[in-house]
Structure 1
Amino acid sequence: MGCFSIKCGLLAGSVFGAVIAILGGILIPVGDMIIERTVKKEAVIEPGTTAYDNWASSEIAVYRQFWLFDVKNPQQVVQEGAFPEVQEKGPYTYKTRYLPKANVTFNPNNTASFVLPMGAIFEPSMSVGPEEDTVTTLNLAVASDIHLYTSHILLDMVINSTNSSLFQHRTVKELLWGYNDPILKDTIGLFSPYNGTSDGPYNIFTGKDDISKVSIIDRWRGETKLSFWNDTYCDMINGTDGSSFAPFVDKDVPLYFFSSDICRSVSASYEATMNLKGIEVYRYSLLPSTLASPVDNPDNKCFCRNYETTKNCTLAGALDISSCSDGRPVFISLPHFLQGSEYLREVVLGLHPDEEHHKTFLDVEPITGFTLNFAKRIQANMMYGPAKDITVLNKVKDYTLLPLAWLNETATLDDKTADMFKRELISRIDMLEIVQQVLLIAGVIIFFVCLIAFFCVRRKSKTNLG
């Protein structure tokens, strides 16, 4: 009778273990469903959600670091046609995008409209010197007016009458944010006007009816497509603004985002899994094909605007954005012409591209789709070329794309936000996984231990009876 009671207890233990194991197994899909439902709910951009708090907040500071290219041999370039030699100076750091989104409006079609106010506050402690530091740089008006003046003789007269040349001395502040130019009789600068202006308006999907569309840009400046490239493909507005993506990111699928700084949409591909303050993130970076020549990437053919200055569209690494910069011969590239044609670095001396310091990347948390860290690195260049009727250009031998400055726009979550993120999301997911595994493993162990013990007891009972 006692042996029978033991066997019953062991059988009950086996059943109990099986139930525990099954419960642990059931918790896996159920837990995943709970996590998915919660994340999707919190990823919608509407008041009261985590996504909205991050989207509307301006607490995470965005900085722009600038390195300016100082031309070391301006006289030799003008008088002898020498290749320009440059040396970068920087960083000069500004706090930007510290203002919250403005004119936020939620629309009936599950979209939200807003504008991004722009401003720049100089940060001396993060800079190598004051804004009053000077550099020798290209004369922006001369380079611009070459393409705007129909008569080069008239332009030469204007240049001489204002004592201007191909190069000029300007402070960091003047070059970046604007100065009164004697030729144009107007304010000109690489990023002028900036303070007090805004980007947009943007119209984005909130994800309320379809979470896969959350943060995707529906319209920019009221339009569903661009008007800079006169081509259906190149004028597409794809993806988000890069600050967030749909939750549950698949690293095998590229991420698309639009940047008004470069007047086009781009894609980024998975590079590696990183650890950011204890949070696992996927690092995405731009592929070399983004700025490849149409010879290597036919999709880029519509971005080629001028056959003469791009050597029949064979140059890689520079994007002509004159169509969205008031006709000025402005080209965008990666810093130091990273991933660009060797020719670009052969005609401008002193450039040293480095993948680690000059590439653009995004660190995206894969469950929520939030971008927790990024570095957008862009170089501004202007084109100048030979012109026999213009004194300061008649010695120039070929079209030259001269770097003026490159910027690193960066932001990362602070320690407080990282701790909150880990506490509210990561730790809960980890705890659920631990409970699942403990129940499953414990149940399996109890089941097999009791089952084995049951057979041992039964065998012993049979032996005793025999």
Structure 2
Amino acid sequence: IKDGATPVVIERGPFTYKTRFLPKHNITFNPNHTASFLLPTIATFEPNMSVGTEDEEVVVLNLAVAVSELYMISLHCSSNSSLFQKRSVKELLWGYTDPLLKDTLSLFENGTYDGPYNVFTGKDDIAKVATIESYKGERELPYWNDTFCNMINGTDASSFAPFVDKKKPLYFFSSDICRSVSASYMRSYPLKGITVYRYSLLHSTLASPVDNPENHCYCRDREVTKNCTLAGVLDISTCQMGKPIYISLPHFLFASPLLREQVQGLSPNEEHHETFLDVEPTTGFTLNFAKRIQINMMYGPSKVITVLKKVKNYTIFPIVWMNETASLDDATADMLKEELVSRIQLLATVQQALLGAGVAIFIVCLISYCCVRRNTNQGKQA
């Protein structure tokens, strides 16, 4: 590969972690009808739902190679440097100390906090409930050098304003990809007896600026992105301390064919690789979701790094893809059906009864009016 051959990848997994969402920390209600909080998460390995242990070794791109120029380190100083390396799953995901960089490299962080978030409570306007007012104390993101792309739109996707209109997209902010996105209505279906709306990310979310001009401000490196014509990837290096990290859908779903030509062994499948939300339309609660994203790192030609001197093209190389899911459990479904669906059905019954009573009263009044009118006419004739 260091001589220019096309890399071949083989998917290995799943390695499953149960992410327990703890109660929000530092909840503070503010005078302007907002509430601020931190979101803590803890991931625990689930061996019974995994194909192997955390200690299983996998061959992956040497992360130190990808970030070496960032740290101003020349890997030609080490005869052991290579483009790929063996690391355990645990090391790759949660961190290891690189002997060259003398720093800890990882793809994720465990036992950390996201935020603080400041969201509207909806007390003064129910349409704004759960909408993010600011993130980390800022009303705009600092990453994209453009007002439009820096906008923090919508909620955190766990809930939306009630009485969801399927004709309108849902907007939400994802700190994982450092930007706001929207999802559009696809279909309705019953989830454990509760009707939900399925919303999915559109192809245009990660489209190139050629196909979606609104994405122009997400294009940062014209050489890597072929003059901003490359679709399906998002360069988030600006929010990752300059590390060449690119986000995409798994297996480069909806991406430019070039990305799959540069790496063999990928098989995108919309059913298995799309991101979606299932939202209960009356409350606006998200009852089921799958957030599927792929983390890639870029490597390319270098005059100072020995293993990259013969590399001809920039390659966006898949490292790992995650399928973060959550679904409504039976107990919560029964509670919702009892507290929500049954009351909605009761309201519908009352509505029909009132409508029926109104029709009956109208008919009685009409008959009475006709009788009075007929009697009046008969009195005039007499």
Task: Give your verdict on TM over 0.5.
Answer: yes
Distance 2:361 2:260 in 1: 69
The equivalent of 2:338 in structure 1 is 423
Identity of aligned residues (%): 68
Question: Is 1:237 paired with 2:160?
Answer: no
Residue 208 (str. 1) matches residue 123 (str. 2): yes
8 Å contact kept, 2:75–2:81: no
d(CA) in 1 for partners of 2:363 and 2:148? 62
In the alignment, the residues of structure 2 paired with residue 102 and residue 400 of structure 1 have an alpha-carbon distance, to the nearest angstrom, of 41
Deviation at 1:437, TM superposition (A): 2.6
Distance 1:210 1:441 in 2: 34
| Larger of the two Rg values belongs to structure | 1
Deviation sequence 1:282-326 (CA, Å, 0-9, x none): 111111111000111111111011011111111000000000001
Which residue of structure 2 aligns with residue 187 of structure 1? Answer: 104
Residue identity in the other structure for 1:155: S
Residue 85 (str. 1) matches residue 8 (str. 2): yes
Is 1:104 aligned to residue 104 of structure 2? no
Distance 1:431 1:388, change over 3 A: same
Aligned to 2:95: 178
Q: Deviation of residue 109 (structure 1)?
A: 0.9
Q: 1:158: which partner in 2?
A: 77
Any conservation in 1 of the 2:299–2:314 contact (CA below 8 Å)?
Answer: yes
Query: Secondary structure of the equivalent of 2:332?
Result: helix
Cα distance in 2, alignment partners of residues 392 and 170 from structure 1: 19
Q: Does 1:364 align with 2:279?
A: yes
Q: In 1, distance between residues paired with 2:301 and 2:139?
A: 39
Match of 1:384 in 2: 299
Q: Which amino acid aligns with 2:197?
A: Y
Structure 2 Cα separation of the partners of residues 323 and 246 of structure 1: 31
Distance 2:185 2:30 in 1: 33
- In structure 2, the partner of 1:403 is 318
Q: CA deviation at 1:115?
A: 0.4
Q: Counterpart of 1:274?
A: 189
Q: Secondary structure of the equivalent of 1:239?
A: coil
Counterpart code for 2:85:
Q
More helix by proportion, 1 or 2?
1
State the AA in 2 paired with 1:267: S
Which residue does the alignment assign to 2:162? 247
Q: Is the 8 A contact 2:71 2:101 kept in 1?
A: no
Deviations 1:263-288 (A, max 9, x none): 00001111111211111111111111
2:44 aligned partner, one-letter code? I
Distance, in Å, in 1 between the alignment partners of 2:28 and 2:358 is: 53
Matches within 5 A, 1:15-414: 77-78=1-2, 80-149=3-72, 155-160=74-79, 163-191=80-108, 194-414=109-329
CA positional deviation for 1:444: 5.7
Counterpart amino acid of 2:76? M
Alignment size in residue pairs: 369
* d(CA) in 2 for partners of 1:286, 1:215: 20
- Aligned residue identity for 1:354: N
Q: Is the Cα–Cα contact under 8 Å of residues 385 and 399 in structure 1 kept in the other structure?
A: yes
Aligned to 2:379: none
Distance 1:248 1:432 in 2: 15
Confirm or deny: 8 A CA contact 1:158 1:183 kept in the other structure: no
State the distance in 2 between where 1:298 and 1:364 align: 29
TM-score (normalizing by structure 2): 0.92
1:355-404 superposed Cα distances (whole Å, 9 cap, x missing partner) = 01101111111111111111111100000012244321123221100000
Say which SS state the counterpart of residue 86 (structure 1) adopts: coil
Length-normalised TM-score, structure 1: 0.76
Partners in 2 of 1:200 and 1:434 — Cα distance? 44
3-state SS in 2 of match to 1:87: coil
How many Å separate the matches in 2 of 1:442 and 1:211?
A: 32
2: distance between equivalents of 1:232 and 1:447?
58
Secondary structure of the corresponding residue to residue 333 of structure 2: helix
Shift, 1:248, TM fit: 0.5
Q: CA deviation at 1:435?
A: 3.7
- The SS at the match of 2:259 is helix
Letter in 1 for 2:216: K
Unaligned segments of structure 1, at least 5 residues: 1-76, 456-466
Q: Is the 8 A contact 1:377 1:409 kept in 2?
A: yes
Question: In the aligned structure 1, how far is the partner of 2:142 from the partner of 2:346?
Answer: 51
SS in structure 2 at match of 1:426: helix
Aligned-partner SS, 1:383: strand
Cα offset, 1:446, TM superposition: 10
8 A Cα contact 1:159 1:165, kept in partner:
no
Indicate conservation of the 8 Å contact 2:76/2:304, yes or no.
no
Aligned to 2:378: none
Query: Highest relative contact order (Cα 8 Å, sep 6+), 1 or 2?
Result: 1
Q: Give the superposition deviation at 1:189.
A: 1.0
> C-alpha offsets along residues 68-117 of structure 1, whole Å, 9 cap, x if unaligned?
xxxxxxxxx12x32111001111111122431111111111111010011
Partner of 1:240: helix, strand, or coil? coil
Q: Is the 8 A contact 2:207 2:232 kept in 1?
A: yes
The whole-number CA distance in structure 2 between the counterparts of 1:308 and 1:447 is 74
Which stretch shifts more, 275-284 or 389-398?
389-398
Alpha-carbon distance in 2 for matches of 1:435, 1:243: 31
Tell whether the 8 Å contact from 2:76 to 2:306 is kept in structure 1 after alignment. no
1:148–1:180 CA distance, 2 compared to 1 (3 A): closer
1:307-358 CA-partner distances (Å, limit 9, x unpaired): 1111111100000000000110000000011111000001100001110110
For 1:117 and 1:448, how far apart are their aligned partners in 2?
A: 62
Stretches of 4+ aligned residues off by more than 6 angstroms: 445-449
AA aligned to 2:118 is: N
